[in-house]
Structure 1
Amino acid sequence: MCGRFAQTRSREEYLAPFTENFERDIPWDPEPLAHYNVAPRSRVLLLSMDENDTLHLEPVVWGYAPEWWHKAPLINARVETASQSRMFKPLWQNGRAIVFADGWYEWQRVGDKKQPYFIYREDKAPLCFAAIGKTPFDANSEAEGFVIVTAAADAGLVDIHDRRPLVLTPEAALAWLHPDTSAKRADELAHEGALPADAFAWHPVTRAVGNVKNQGPELVEPVDKPHS
């Protein structure tokens, strides 16, 4: 699954592969976001594309709970079932988006404690998480925001957790966003355009990341021994 991630670079660094061939309705901002501990229910910059092929980057709440859903908002959707489920099919068809990240956190049980790990691209390049949400994306909505699409972990990643975010290449991410991409084609992109497990590296980090109030670059730094 994906329950925490880091989004620390400037929006311009994240947008660089996307704006060469597409217009943007996004203010220029070179300042780093510096979000080292993004948690559910927070507002996250979400990349989307409108019917005029124009890119938008808007703060949208991480979580989705339609009016008929009387449980806690969902934060993830399984790629294996999302395109056909009652909950997510409309979002898959018309609400595809991208969440930028530098990496995500997963917890592995070690004895009677859980050790957090930070997982990132081995080449340190930004990540493009596949996401789906309720359109039009509304910065004021508290319930109908977005979820991150997850896939089954494989290779070494499964040792940390059995699920992981669906991370797309920039090329696949652009196709995922495009309004002319059909739901069927989006399903194909989710498999063809996903980065393989061997593209990632990971290391243990401080347990301080477990507290959503903690922020700062020390959260993503490797630790030799678990500590709080």
Structure 2
Amino acid sequence: MCGRYLMTSPLDAMRAVFKVKADANFPARYNIAPKQPVLVVRHDDAGIPELVAVEWGFVPEWIKDPAKEPVINARIETVEAKPYFRASIKRKRCLVPMNGWYEWKTEGGRKQPYLISPSDGSLMAFAGVWSTWHGPGGEHWLETMAILTAPATGPLSSVHHRRPMVVANADHDAWLTTHDPLPRRFLEDFPFVGERAFDARPVSTRVGNVRFDGPECLDPPEHERQTSLF
């Protein structure tokens, strides 16, 4: 699964990679967690990419109680069939800009966080779905998203049994373009980025605490052990 990620690229990189018009600057984020506002790229009503902020934790438009625990990931195996995501996977797909994500692996009786990031250090994007929930009287609304995941069957399986789906830069438009109904085998045949495009390395256990959101999250575990000696 994907439960934490980072997005540290500057605004200029966002404009270049996602072809969006964005003027408001945003801080680098090293420890993005569920229920927080995040940036996504989606098509506007005219089919033009736009950069917007939504909340991480999917709430379908038809649910009565949005206070229930939100769903942060959507399994690619069931996303077309589950009522939770069925409408969004056809009409509300999005890109979630990122520079990497974290997974935890049990080692020596403790959980060690790993950073999994593009081998070339590039800005990339998760495949996501989004939704808009309206209050019973239409007095307020909430936009949310979830990240698609699939079984890890390659190198990443040594860290975690599932992985988020990543869309190559050349395929952004193909992912964002709506289809209703979804073409047969759309998800099975979509050219998501393969696992060998990413590297994994252990990082600081600070990332396990959502209060830490600085570059120290990327420190190697050895740095923690060294500083504890002084």
User: TM-score, with normalisation over the residues of structure 2?
Assistant: 0.85
Deviation at 1:16, TM superposition (A): 1.0
**1:84-125: CA deviation from partner (whole Å, max 9, x where unpaired):** 211110110111001000000000011321000000011111
Work out the CA distance in 2 between the residues paired with 1:90 and 1:181: 9
Relative to structure 1, the CA distance from residue 178 to residue 133 in structure 2 (aligned partners, 3 Å threshold; closer, same or farther) is same
Match of 1:28 among 12, 23, 28: 23
Relative to structure 1, the CA distance from residue 12 to residue 225 in structure 2 (aligned partners, 3 Å threshold; closer, same or farther) is closer
Match of 1:77 in 2: 74
Runs of at least 5 residues in structure 1 that lack an aligned partner in the other structure: none
Work out the CA distance in 1 between the residues paired with 2:77 and 2:11: 30
Matches within 5 A, 1:116-195: 116-135=113-132, 141-142=141-142, 145-179=144-178, 183-184=182-183, 188=186, 191-195=189-193
Work out the CA distance in 2 between the residues paired with 1:165 and 1:97: 14
**1:164-194: CA deviation from partner (whole Å, max 9, x where unpaired):** 1100101222211123586226x53564321
**1:123-169: CA deviation from partner (whole Å, max 9, x where unpaired):** 111121000011489xx745x51101111112220111111110010
Aligned-residue sequence identity (percent) comes to 34
Contact 2:59–2:131 at 8 Å: present in 1 too? no
Matched, 1:101 2:98: yes
Larger Rg: 2
Relative to structure 1, the CA distance from residue 125 to residue 74 in structure 2 (aligned partners, 3 Å threshold; closer, same or farther) is same
**1:64-95: CA deviation from partner (whole Å, max 9, x where unpaired):** 23424684111000011101211110110111
Runs of at least 5 residues in structure 2 that lack an aligned partner in the other structure: 135-139
Deviation at 1:12, TM superposition (A): 2.8
Work out the CA distance in 2 between the residues paired with 1:192 and 1:109: 32
Relative to structure 1, the CA distance from residue 209 to residue 215 in structure 2 (aligned partners, 3 Å threshold; closer, same or farther) is same
**1:5-45: CA deviation from partner (whole Å, max 9, x where unpaired):** 001112331231332xxxx4x4324x453110000000001
Match of 1:13 in 2: 13
User: TM-score, with normalisation over the residues of structure 1?
Assistant: 0.85
AA aligned opposite 2:5: F
AA aligned opposite 1:220: L
AA aligned opposite 2:55: V
Work out the CA distance in 1 between the residues paired with 2:218 and 2:182: 35
Work out the CA distance in 2 between the residues paired with 1:149 and 1:77: 5
Relative to structure 1, the CA distance from residue 92 to residue 82 in structure 2 (aligned partners, 3 Å threshold; closer, same or farther) is same
Deviation at 1:50, TM superposition (A): 2.1
Work out the CA distance in 2 between the residues paired with 1:54 and 1:37: 29
Q: Secondary structure at the match of 1:84?
A: coil
Contact 1:36–1:215 at 8 Å: present in 2 too? yes
Relative to structure 1, the CA distance from residue 90 to residue 28 in structure 2 (aligned partners, 3 Å threshold; closer, same or farther) is same
**1:178-218: CA deviation from partner (whole Å, max 9, x where unpaired):** 23586226x53564321111111010000010000001112
Q: CA RMSD in A?
A: 2.5
Match of 1:60 among 50, 54, 71: 54
Match of 1:208 in 2: 206
